[in-house]
Amino acid sequence: MKYILMMHCPRTGYDTFGAWPKKDIEAHMAFMLAFNKALRESGEWVSGEGLADPKQAKIVRAGKDGLPITDGVFPESKEFLAGYWIVDVASPDRADALAAKASAAPGPGGAPMNMPIEVRQVMSGPPEQNSCNES
């Protein structure tokens, strides 16, 4: 079963991260690279990406003519997606265990950050019937 592990960060997270001592940033990145490598080795890795600074984020809607209407980030957004992993695991508990591991990535001074990781099941395809808009 496939799960997505989503790492959220506060709007200020990217600035704060860049201001950490260099050795703490390096330890954090080394942890993430080792985490990714372990997932690849266990065969659980499906995909993973890091997202650019939310200051560049836009919200897009189609206008009446179908053309894009772009808007800056909604000012009320306090949290943004910083990155995610999609993993293929044998059980929901395994997804939780991996999320906990990512949650404990080292922060300033090497202390575990214990950040919240959202865990959602990934659908392998659209449901036969039913969708978000019909339920």
Partner 1 sequence: MKNLKKDLRESGELVAAEGLSFPDQAKLVRAGKDAAPITDGVFPESKEFLAGFWIVDVETPERAYEIAARISAAPGLGGTPLNMPIEVRQVMSGPPEEFL
> CA distances (Å), 39 to each of 4, 19, 57, 98, in order?
13, 29, 29, 9
Distance CA 129, CA 132 (A): 10
Binding string, 113-132, against partner 1, x = CB under 8 A? -xxxxxxxxxx-xx-----x
In this chain, which of 61, 75, 90, 128 binds partner 1, going by CB under 8 A?
Answer: 61
The sign one gets for the Cα dihedral 101, 42, 9, 78 is negative
Q: Judged by CB, which is closer to partner 1: 67, or 90?
A: 67
Question: Rounded to 5 degrees, what are φ and ψ at 97?
Answer: -65, -40
In this chain, which of 32, 39, 87, 89 binds partner 1, going by CB under 8 A?
Answer: 32
Interface residues toward partner 1, by CB under 8 A: 4-6, 25-26, 28-29, 32-33, 47, 49-52, 54, 56-63, 66-70, 80-81, 86, 96-97, 99-101, 103-104, 112, 114-123, 125-126, 132-135
